[in-house]
Structure 1
């Protein structure tokens, strides 16, 4: 396993909890779980498969969860933990995740994530089944990139052909 950017998943959870508090908002434990899962997958997708934090996600009843973070934060932010230790270059990334997903309810995030095929496959094996990090990387990488079509060449090679997608309201050139 390569080194993670943030030393502890607790630091990322603390950052999200503190960000919610700065905005005078309560961050539910389920929503915290979804945010750290999304952050891990999105970071890996945009940073060539690198882990943001040393998290382990398992299939929970409502979605992927890190059991250690769940246990530690199930009753809110522990008061005996200090400030989050996040490298400066990672703060912008976490802020982007917060701005993109922080305003959504935990129910909304649960509905979106419960259909992720990697979660569904793990859940079929049973509650508590691990969602492997390589599967998270593949899922988020595939989800984050533009439309890709597989093309087979005359000599049998399989290539990926990128097809740009038009923004809503725009037409594709002819």
Structure 2
């Protein structure tokens, strides 16, 4: 649900999963055949996992990080892993790159540059995200929602960003 001021978007688990399913439909209807899904951890892990199951394709993971401070609400320097975890040796062929959103677009541009420069076995690369903000300098191949007001997206699992083990102990103590 988008707030009246357009500055915050609150997403429930049901809405979140529905958006991923709509993303799967868009990808399927494009008739593009791909070999592997490469998700960007952490935001792309949940969509990547679901898409991997729906399309019955192997899931590779590349770790990236820029939102660490302020319980994940403040963007810092972008870190991109030098290695990709994949169940099939080296990542190759046609690859679908998945993340949760195109925010500024810097992460997707940097990752695509790294993939094109360091992974010559990738023959074709397309991108998929749930949300694209209007301020993004990156246009994904597949996206479900365009956000003209650039709201902060409150995803349903973000409560875990500030939850610590001692909180769980207190919560689950009988």
Larger Rg: 1
- TM-score norm. by structure 1 comes to 0.28
Between structures 1 and 2, the one with greater strand share: 2
Between structures 1 and 2, the one with greater helix share: 1
